[in-house]
Structure 1
């Protein structure tokens, strides 16, 4: 490396000036909150009501309880908070969303529909609005053992919750799960002399729920079972050779098209008492094509 002469640097203050910093000017505007104008709470005829305004992509740690090990886990959720704004109000106060999130976190924020109902109701009160909506997604981890060896590892699925509080309509909630499974092509099994091609499938379930019928059921476990029990085979984090033999043979014995998957999962969701409506989507990452295969199905009881 070529040796360079030693630099004589200007002071840090002079360097800041060099790159555009200026001396602060006189301060004439109020510094106390009570004296500051609140533009967002201005009352006029602003023509339209806004369906949803708020903040998204808010990442924050939460505690998740599960019927599958690990039974209590800390994960990072991605939040969206919104509320309606009437036509006679300019906007919302964005800081109140994260202010309430911090208050709940300081008390120990555990993800449950009941606690999220409280959160939404209190948020609407804080915003001085008639409704508030909270949406969140988070990775949920669960233990999975090899079918022959019994060696454990952790799988994860993407969980989804949406709750809404409305002064006139009360509470409503949706829960969902996206998880990975193995599917084996029935067509290639039928026509090939030797084998059949497999693919990794992703099952996305979104359900409207009656919280009163949920009881002690862990909805995450219930939705996971609906997807995995209808697949060709389950995904495993650890597979020894005896495990691999069992998994591949199970897949061969249970071939599934994407059409088969959405219908079979839908039947399981229909049988869950706490589910009132649902959408099931399946996407297979094809192993012998560049494209994916997709199917979806929606049903309201």
Structure 2
């Protein structure tokens, strides 16, 4: 008799007995209430708990979202990674974690479009649900945009990593910080200068974090497209998903004509951000994945336009 025939004739214990065989035990006595109204609510305890807490909440919450964009595709469905939180006073033990995901589910059922005005409403309502004077929400997501080859016009999809953070305070209102990380090509000026021919290039990662002005209007300006343009237009060359030979010739020659150090990139990008009227303050970071070194090259710059008024 082969193994298959043996298995057909094997007499197994019941599923319940199998569970017990591997460590399951019978339920013990149940003495505590099952009705919510009668259950202890430790998180809402009121005592002197020694310190205020700046922020408590939940993070790494993944959820489907809809992204509006002024670049093609205009509406895209993607996955958002959320962080929610609020402050807790010294007199409160904790927060009710389930209320964060209850708020998320409410907006999901309404069709959760990730735009700034919607997130502002979401955050102020969240503060009310938590019975707090403040709340914050941060959502990160990949944003896709169509890119054409410079000669062939053949299209493909590029993407950048985007984040929106909305902080609400009942007394002071909203702070909105947006972040975009886009990829560019940079060609080394030093390599071009010292070499008889050629120059090494690399892929650069430009991260821009911007605090938006109070009067920012997302209907007039797509902040994602604006930050992307600030990064790409100051690079040695743009990144393309589809390049035929004539495209590749154009891109490599453009890079050679526009050599950039990481220091050059962040200063040029900073100049564009400075000129954007919807930007109150910003930071720029460029990290080049060096092609002839094992290390990366990196530079960072921060600027607050409001400091000019002081």
The answer to whether the 8 Å contact 1:132/1:164 transfers is yes
Instruction: Name the residue aligned to 2:126.
Output: 123
Which aligned pairs between 1:180-195 and structure 2 lie closer than 5 A? 180-195=183-198
1:90 aligns with 2:98: no
Tell me the TM-score normalised to structure 1 length: 0.98
Whole-angstrom distance in 2 between the partners of 1:144 and 1:86:
49
Instruction: Name the residue aligned to 1:27.
Output: 30
Q: Deviations for 1:208-247, whole angstroms, at most 9, x for unmatched residues?
A: 0014133510000000000000000000000011100000
Whole-angstrom distance in 2 between the partners of 1:71 and 1:3:
59
1:103 aligns with 2:102: no
1:269 aligns with 2:282: no
The unaligned stretches of length 5 or more in structure 1 are none
The answer to whether the 8 Å contact 1:113/1:211 transfers is no
1:231 aligns with 2:235: yes
Q: 2:223 aligns with which of 219, 228, 231?
A: 219
- Count of residue pairs brought into register by the alignment: 300
Runs of 4+ in 1 over 4 A off after TM superposition: 2-5
Deviation of the 1:19 alpha carbon: 1.1
Instruction: Name the residue aligned to 1:171.
Output: 174
Whole-angstrom distance in 1 between the partners of 2:77 and 2:222:
17
The answer to whether the 8 Å contact 1:46/1:87 transfers is yes
Deviation of the 1:9 alpha carbon: 2.2
Deviation of the 1:93 alpha carbon: 0.4
Whole-angstrom distance in 2 between the partners of 1:27 and 1:68:
59
CA RMSD across the alignment: 1.1
The unaligned stretches of length 5 or more in structure 2 are 306-310
1:54 aligns with 2:57: yes
Whole-angstrom distance in 2 between the partners of 1:55 and 1:213:
28
Instruction: Name the residue aligned to 1:260.
Output: 264
Q: Deviations for 1:44-82, whole angstroms, at most 9, x for unmatched residues?
A: 000100000000000001111000000000110100001
